[in-house]
Amino acid sequence: MLRKTTLLIVLLIVLLGFGVTAWSLSSHKGYEAMSIKECNACHESSGVTFNHGEMWTKEHRLYAAKLPNNCQDCHQQSFCLDCHDGGGIDASLHLSNSGPDYMPKSHRTDFREIHPIKARENERTCYRCHDARRFCAECHSKFSSGALTSESHRRQFRDIPLSSIGPKHESFAPPDCKNCHVSGILPKHEWSLSHAREARRNLASCQTCHPDGDVCMKCHNAQVGLKVNPHPRNWGSVKGRLGRASDNRTCLKCHAPGTF
Amino acid sequence: MRFIFRKFFIVSVVFLSFFLVSAAAHADPLKFSSSTQFLWGDDLLGQSQTIIAQYLRLSFTPEGKPYSIAGYGRLWKDFGSPAVRDNDVEGRLYYLYLDYALTPNISTRIGRQFTNLTAGTSLMDGISLDVHKIGPVGVTLAGGRDVVFSLDSEFTRNGNYFAGVDVHLENVKSTQLGVSYVRRYDESDLSREELGMNFRYFFKSLSPYAELKYDVLSEVFDEATVGIDFFPMSNLMIKAEFFHSYPTFDSTSIYSVFAADKYREYLIRAEYALALPVTLVVGYSRQTYDEGDNADVVTVGARVYPSQDLSLYAAYDYRYGFTGYNGFTKELNGRLSGFELNADYKFKKNLMFFAGVQYDSYSRPENITDTNSAQRYWIGGRWIATKKVAVSVRLEDNDNENFNHRTLGRVTLDWNL
């Protein structure tokens, strides 16, 4: 991946050697009161296509993150924060609200029911505005886990019986795991397969209800429980850097000092 | 800590209000906006909410002086019995900063501010410095205390800091290029270290672009966008774009040690924009996940201006593909299909009306019962009473699997000085 991206960067930079057009960033102060539909009248005649099209909500990220930009010629910072942090001093009458917070147009109809589908697309779209550990967790904590969409949560681990007539897992404590699951070996329960798939696809969604990962660490732990290894394939090359960055405080959540 | 910042916020707002009231009568450089809002209806769990919110926004830009001040914040209280949100007096200070031009090419911003670099974004209490025209290069430096808003209040732990630098080309015709580096600290431990790069080039009717983010701690490109815009005519754009993301987490979070899957999106879209009367957009994207699962998304939209006073908007999108997992049926795919129609009508110079409808039909593999649907309808009006005062009213009704009729309403009194 790194090699491919480096090659792409080089190719793009090589393009700089070709042709020059008249484009350059220009001030738009004085046009801030103009409506979007009027912009193209000037842009067409100057041969520069304007960029506030119908998909601008999705596209503006790339323009806003580059410096310098001329967003501030027409917009105050409140324009950004009203969408990203729920403000509404200039809210459009087409926008709905959730409590005192205004929602951008991407939050269509009953977003409480639709957001699990949207979150399975590009999850980063959610976290550009919402902090998973705080915003999402605070809201999810008000709803019961049985009402959540995930298959692994509809039939939870604690509900799985040991056999057709045996007791459910809820009657056992974490220290009992090793009595049946020797060396942390898990049977091919549907739960264990589906929760792993769901977690890998959208790990941040786990964080929305379990911000500290306490539930995960019952099994994914080097000292207690099933001791299931959760690390990615490149773990050997990144663990030192991540450990040093956090002063090993993340490692120590699961490992004994000096054992990792 | 939360108590202290709430008090800080309230004091800031009260102080600014006195400052504004005393200065407003004879201060042209002062611009001031107030919005007093009354919002009511049911919350997401069906409990009543009755909210009064007060927004204040100001800017003070004295002519011929090298400094200016800008601020924006909100106070609110829910007098109902909400089940999801708090009903204490709450506040959000979005920003309050001083801009100071040290020289024509060096300026600084001090206070709470929104900072957006390719490598990372922050709402921070701190300082930023812009240096322009170092040859063809400009530099932006930013650093301060990272501010996080939770559902109702502000949540920031001790030792949460943001620091970033962006080096970019300035005033180079046809080329935008910038690289940035960001560090974040969580309780004084390094939680994030990111490199960013953005690029756009204009070559006649082609404009290739890229934005890359590299997570230094996890040694992965956690986000990459590469694309090209093609303008066969100045009012027609055809876009082809590739997006890649790999979830990474703060090093101080337990989630940073877990394996995750890549997500990729291939998009092509055409947008045809006539100044009047029609703008059309059509797009298709293919979303792919590890292990071969994927989804297809089709988007169609139009904006039409039948007259100078009327604007109509329509958008439809359809998504089918990976949406979850049903352990009983082994089904992975789900569907989301919906549209929005809305209209703005300027009845008089000082009186406007708004109306719209949204509809979604969706199915998820976990829900084996049936397809669900949701609808939202709204109407609203805005009366500009004087040059400085305007009143808006909006009513909304929702019909979905959780509510037969969930009504929401709001009235706002806006005052600009």
CB of A100 less than 8 A from some CB of B? yes
CB of B49 less than 8 A from some CB of A? yes
Exposed e or buried b for every residue in A108-125, given b needs 16+ CB within 10 A?
Answer: bbbbbbbebbbbbbbbbe
User: What residues of A are in contact with residue B74 (Cβ under 8 Å)?
Assistant: 87, 89, 100
Peptide bond just before B66 cis, omega within 30 deg? no
- Cβ <8 Å between A109 and B360: yes
- Cβ <8 Å between A89 and B72: yes
SS3 B202: coil
pLDDT at B55 over 70: yes
pLDDT at B278 over 60: yes
Q: What is the pLDDT of residue A17?
A: 39
CA distance A241 to B70: 40
Phi, psi of A171 (to 5 degrees): -85, 0
pLDDT at B277 over 90: no
Report ipTM (2 d.p.). Answer: 0.88
pLDDT tens string, chain A, 260 residues long: the values are 445 555 545 544 444 434 333 445 667 777 777 777 677 667 655 556 667 877 888 888 888 888 888 888 888 899 999 989 899 999 999 999 999 999 998 899 988 888 888 888 888 888 888 887 778 888 888 776 666 666 667 666 777 777 777 788 888 887 788 788 877 777 766 677 778 888 888 888 888 888 888 888 988 999 888 888 999 888 999 999 999 999 999 999 999 998 88
For residue B22, give the amino acid letter: S
Q: Note whether B340 and B374 are within 8 A (CB).
A: no
pLDDT in tens, B305-339: 898 899 999 999 999 999 887 767 778 889 999 99
Q: Note whether B354 and B342 are within 8 A (CB).
A: yes
CB of A109 less than 8 A from some CB of B? yes
Confidence band for B116, pLDDT divided at 50, 70 and 90:
very high
Residue of B57, B325, B404 for testing the chain A interface, max A β-carbons within 10 Å: B325
- Cβ <8 Å between A2 and B221: yes
Residue of A49, A56, A84, A105 for testing the chain B interface, max B β-carbons within 10 Å: A49
Please compute the mean of the pLDDT values over residues B76-99 and round it to a whole number. 91
For residue B88, give the amino acid letter: D
State the nearest Cα–Cα gap between B25 and chain A, in angstroms. 22
Q: Which chain A residue shows the shortest CA-CA distance from B197? A: A66
Interface of B with A in 200-259 (CB under 8 A): 200-204, 208-212, 216-221, 223-226, 231, 234-235, 237, 243, 245, 247, 249, 251-259
Q: What is the pLDDT of residue B416?
A: 92
CB of B181 less than 8 A from some CB of A? no
Q: List strand residue ranges (DSSP E) for B202-262, in order.
A: 206-215, 220-233, 236-245
State the nearest Cα–Cα gap between A162 and chain B, in angstroms. 18
pLDDT in tens, B222-257: 999 999 999 888 778 899 999 999 999 999 999 999
CA distance B187 to A165: 49
What length does chain B have?
417
CB of B156 less than 8 A from some CB of A? no
Q: What is the pLDDT of residue A6?
A: 57
CB of B82 less than 8 A from some CB of A? yes
Q: Tell me what percent of the residues of chain B surpass a pLDDT of 90.
A: 70
User: What residues of A are in contact with residue B392 (Cβ under 8 Å)?
Assistant: 93
Q: What is the pLDDT of residue B144?
A: 97
Output the DSSP codes for A210-239: -TT-TTGGGTS-SSSTT------TTHHHHH
pLDDT at B74 over 60: yes
Phi, psi of B125 (to 5 degrees): -95, 105
CA distance A86 to A101: 4
Q: What is the pLDDT of residue B161?
A: 96
Q: What is the pLDDT of residue B69?
A: 96
Q: Find the CB nearest A194 among B283, B327, B360.
A: B327
State the nearest Cα–Cα gap between A47 and chain B, in angstroms. 6
pLDDT in tens, B175-211: 999 999 999 999 999 999 999 999 999 888 899 999 9
Phi, psi of B265 (to 5 degrees): -140, 130
pLDDT in tens, B338-397: 999 999 999 999 999 999 999 999 998 876 566 789 999 999 999 999 999 999 999 999
Q: What is the pLDDT of residue A13?
A: 46
SS3 A169: helix
CB of B269 less than 8 A from some CB of A? yes
CA distance A80 to A62: 14
Q: Which chain B residue shows the shortest CA-CA distance from A108? A: B358
- Cβ <8 Å between A114 and B362: yes
Helices (H) and strands (E) in chain B, counts: 1, 24
Q: What is the pLDDT of residue A208?
A: 83
Q: Note whether B341 and B355 are within 8 A (CB).
A: no
Q: Find the CB nearest B173 among A24, A62, A216.
A: A24
Counted across chains A and B, CB pairs separated by less than 8 A come out at 378
Q: What is the pLDDT of residue A147?
A: 62
Mean pLDDT of all residues in chain B? Answer: 90
Please compute the mean of the pLDDT values over residues B149-153 and round it to a whole number. 84
Please compute the mean of the pLDDT values over residues B274-303 and round it to a whole number. 89
